[in-house]
């Protein structure tokens, strides 16, 4: 909207000399204000350009989404190895909170990984894909044809992002393990974000193999493309974009915005119920704890979502957005060690961030991928059982962009179901 400055002659003023004496300083002040505004625009424009250049140079693009009818050739990533930040035995076990074969537990029926090294060793192995007869299937070299579900008209411009947390330090060398699998659904109006956490041990059909396994095995055997092909039939919606982030970036993002306040809803791992300030190292310890929690990996997923929410809100807060140094530090940390699909451009990410600028805490919602219990498979080990009917209900709400009316009365709120 423009503003018009009418002169005294335009107004038919008969005292132009007096008007010039009064108007001179006003015009000078207007000019100064205009100059400051212009400089501000130039500075902000240059800053925005610098941020975009930083993002462009940091982010890696990769073929993470298979095109319709393209072929995915399976090749297991069995690199395993010790995780970043770990010393000795893996703290996370094989995903079960069942007693181990050696009987070593923490006194409450949960496996004590520190005193049961066999449990830690199992966790480093890729879960096998098993057929209906319960026997392992060799899928090395198997070719899987990719397909993409149709996008319903009811979905409008809603977007679905698959966020993968990997423990790999270098994706060009190894895929690592997908310990975090989250579907982020951004609604058509850009007023709501739903984050659906899928337990890594969720036992599901693995696309194109004729067998089933833990859902994170699909990533180990075929990377993000096979994980997408495995997840899409469960929810019936296309995955628009993929983002892979590692734990080093996770810590750096947190520290870049000065740490976050996290609302802890279940005590464990040195954190009591209540609001806790956490830096990157504390946050990483918070989201990786599972053995002291009531529902093991399920509870850990809830912790991950609590932490993600805290980081999102801090990053989108006025405190961050109006602090150029902090914002630049966060953007740099968030995009270092970040890999996205080939079609997700920096401009798209910038535009989406702008569209979501009004997001508040009450606009971010968290869900567990529907499950009904935990069991021990004779070949695959500890697994989380999927609640098929509830998964179909979730898919229907995602397809129609009606997550505001979704509910999950099936997934156990306490214990491990059955």
Whichever domain contains 368, its CATH number is 3.40.630.190
Q: pLDDT value at position 2?
A: 42
Q: Do 233 and 148 fall within a single domain?
A: yes
pLDDT band at 299 (very low <50, low <70, confident <90, very high): very high
If we measure between CA atoms, which residue out of 312, 311, 243 comes closest to residue 283? 311
- For residue 379, pLDDT over 90 is answered with yes
Q: Once rounded to an integer, what is the mean pLDDT over residues 360-385?
A: 93
3-state DSSP call for residue 338?
strand
Q: Once rounded to an integer, what is the mean pLDDT over residues 79-90?
A: 38
Q: Do 299 and 342 fall within a single domain?
A: yes
Q: What is the mean pLDDT of the chain?
A: 80
3-state DSSP call for residue 374?
strand
Return the C-alpha torsion angle 62, 67, 71, 74, nearest 10: 40
177/215 Cα distance (integer angstroms): 11
pLDDT tens digits for range 157-172:
999 999 998 766 555 5
Q: Do 39 and 131 fall within a single domain?
A: no
pLDDT tens digits for range 130-161:
999 999 999 999 999 999 999 889 999 999 99
Residue 203 included in any domain: yes
Residue 284 included in any domain: yes
pLDDT band at 33 (very low <50, low <70, confident <90, very high): low
The number of CA neighbours under 13 Å toward the Cβ of 370 is 17
Residue 114 included in any domain: no
Q: Once rounded to an integer, what is the mean pLDDT over residues 110-129?
A: 51
Q: Do 27 and 152 fall within a single domain?
A: no
Q: pLDDT value at position 309?
A: 86
SS (H, E, C) 270-281: CECCEEEEECHH
Residue 306: C-alpha distances to residues 245, 300, 358 (Å) = 17, 10, 20
- pTM > 0.85: yes or no: no
Q: Do 301 and 261 fall within a single domain?
A: yes
Q: Domain count for the chain, please give it.
A: 2
Residue 387 included in any domain: yes
- For the chain, percent of residues with pLDDT exceeding 70: 74
Q: Do 178 and 29 fall within a single domain?
A: no
Residue 44: C-alpha distances to residues 37, 66, 349, 410 (Å) = 10, 38, 18, 50
Range of the domain at 26: 14-58
């Amino acid at each position: 909207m423009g503003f018009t400055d009418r002169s005294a002659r335009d107004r038919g003023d008969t005292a132009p000399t007096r008007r010039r004496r009064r108007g001179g300083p006003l015009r000078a002040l207007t000019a100064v204000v205009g100059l400051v505004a212009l400089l501000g625009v130039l500075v902000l424009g240059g800053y925005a350009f610098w941020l975009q250049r930083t993002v462009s140079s940091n982010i890696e693009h990769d073929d993470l989404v298979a095109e319709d009818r393209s072929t995915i050739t399976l090749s297991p990533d069995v690199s395993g190895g010790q995780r970043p930040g770990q010393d000795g035995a893996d703290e996370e076990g094989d995903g079960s909170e069942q007693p181990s074969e050696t009987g070593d537990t923490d006194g409450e029926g949960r496996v004590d990984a520190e005193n049961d090294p066999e449990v830690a060793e199992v966790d480093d192995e890729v879960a096998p894909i098993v057929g209906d007869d319960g026997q392992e299937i060799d899928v090395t070299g198997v070719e899987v044809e990719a397909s993409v579900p149709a996008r319903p008209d009811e979905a409008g411009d809603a977007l679905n992002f698959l966020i993968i947390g990997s423990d790999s330090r270098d994706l060009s060398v190894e895929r690592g393990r997908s310990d975090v699998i989250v579907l982020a659904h951004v609604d058509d109006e850009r007023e709501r974000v739903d984050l659906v956490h899928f337990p890594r041990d969720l036992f599901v059909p693995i696309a194109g193999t004729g067998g089933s396994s833990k859902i994170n095995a699909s990533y180990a055997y075929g990377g993000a493309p096979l994980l997408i092909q495995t997840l899409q039939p469960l929810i019936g919606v296309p995955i628009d974009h993929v983002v892979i982030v590692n734990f080093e970036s996770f810590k750096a993002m947190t520290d870049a915005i000065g740490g976050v306040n996290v609302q802890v809803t279940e005590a464990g791992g040195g954190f009591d119920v209540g609001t806790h300030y956490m830096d990157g190292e504390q946050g990483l310890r918070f989201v990786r704890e599972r053995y002291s929690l009531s529902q093991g990996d399920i509870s850990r997923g809830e912790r991950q979502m609590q932490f993600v929410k805290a980081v999102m809100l801090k990053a989108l807060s006025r405190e961050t957005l109006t602090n150029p140094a902090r914002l630049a530090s966060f953007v740099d940390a968030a995009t270092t060690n970040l890999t996205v699909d080939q079609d997700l451009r920096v401009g798209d990410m910038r535009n989406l961030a702008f569209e979501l600028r009004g997001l508040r805490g009450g606009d971010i919602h968290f869900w567990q991928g529907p499950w009904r219990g935990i069991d021990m498979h004779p070949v695959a080990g500890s697994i989380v059982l999927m609640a098929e009917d509830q998964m179909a209900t979730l898919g229907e709400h995602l397809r129609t962009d009606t997550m505001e009316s979704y509910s999950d009365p099936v997934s156990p709120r306490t214990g491990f179901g059955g």
